[in-house]
Amino acid sequence: MKIKKHLILGLSLVMLAFSCSNDNDNIQTEASGAYEDGILITNEGNYSQGNGSVSFVSTDFSYAENTIFSNVNGKLLGDTVQSIEFYEDLAFIIVNNSQKIEVVNRYTFKSVATIDSGLNNPRYMTVLLGKGYVTNWGDGSDPSDDYVAVIDLNTFAITTTISVEEGPERIVSNATTAYVAHKGGYGQNNIVSVIDANATVLKTITVGDVPNSMAFDNLGQLYVLAEGKPSWTQDETAGKLSVIDPTNNTVISSLDFAIDQHPTNLTYGESLYYYMSGKVYKYDVDSTNLPSTAVIEGVNFNYMTVNNGVLYGVDAGDYTNNGIFKSYDLATYTAKNSKEVGIIPGGIYFNN
């Protein structure tokens, strides 16, 4: 009888240990989520049709899944998905024409909260010392109502707004300061606003016309790429690359493009890269001249970025049907992989 009881007890302990091990495995799998260690692509969708989305592509491009927010939460994401910003295990998805931010777990994409008040044409976000700073164009007919909304990232409440000049667009930050490129909204502008952790505009810095992208280098200097005013304004101006020293927030150098050159999509990865007229150019930060030849040609990037020696870009195609997500090896400047994503892809985010 004792042997039988001991046998039963031993088997029970083995089964319990096995059960606990499986439970722990399940918990770990659920915690990591289906969308960890891959790439998220924001897709604007067709304007006013509410079909904006986010796509997921595995790092090796072996797997892709579109409309992941809808797949997980059973509802549409909204109209004009503009951008994503990460904070800890959360992703803040800015949905421009729906005037909201959807907050999800960045790895499972399960909905956490919706911020749908205090926003007016929200565009991009950065995190500075535990707070979210979101650029807002405001009413397109009113150039004086633009602002940056400050979000408590624990309660998801907008705690204050910072009035800024027209057209706040891209926003980046270092350890102490946020920088806002004023592309111009529905017009054109030529400044970068400097905002401190007290939500105060310290100063505005004049750069080239229509600054569209910014990037820090490995020394912490901020590069601002301005595309210049387009020809249809009847006041066409050249693009400009400006360098801002964050220690005193002044422009320390700048380089001018030709009058008909309008570069976009500045990104940094050991060197600077930008897109112009179907080509990708590489600029070494210690150079005193802009490059005259491209490193990649025959592309049509709505947005691009660099990560770990690979250049990633999204092609919006005809801006009506699904676009394409592509990668290029920067050692050889040759195409690597591609996947179909959503309608009008416009942002690339590395979810790891």
When the pLDDT of each residue in the chain is averaged and rounded to a whole number, the result is 92
Q: What is the pLDDT of residues 113-167, one digit of tens each?
A: 999 999 999 999 999 999 999 999 999 889 999 999 999 999 999 999 999 999 9
Query: Which tens digit of pLDDT belongs to each residue from 63-105?
Result: 999 999 999 999 999 999 999 999 999 999 999 999 999 999 9
- 217, 285 in Cβ contact below 8 A? yes
Dump pLDDT digits (tens) for 15-31: 333 333 333 333 333 34
Characterize the bridge pairing of strands 64-65 and 264-269.
unpaired
Q: Given phi > 0 = left and psi -120 to 50 = alpha, else beta, which region is 73?
A: alpha
Report the largest interatomic distance among the alpha carbons of the chain, rounded to a whole angstrom.
99
Is 51 within 8 Å of 19 (Cβ atoms)?
Answer: no
| Residue 337 CB contacts under 8 Å (≥ 6 apart), including other chains | 60, 61, 326, 327
Separation in Å, CA 143 to CA 122, 190, 206, 208 = 15, 14, 18, 19
Alpha-carbon span 70 to 328, nearest angstrom: 30
State how far the alpha carbon of 152 is from the alpha carbons of 117, 121, 131, in Å: 13, 19, 6
% the chain with pLDDT above 90 = 89
Q: How far apart are the first and last CA of the chain?
A: 56
Q: What is the pLDDT of residue 32?
A: 60
Decide if pLDDT at 207 tops 90. Answer: yes
Average pLDDT value for residue range 321-338: 98
Residue-level pLDDT at 3: 35
Determine contact, residues 297/279, Cβ cutoff 8 Å. yes
Q: What is the DSSP letter of 213?
A: E
**200-228 mean pLDDT:** 98
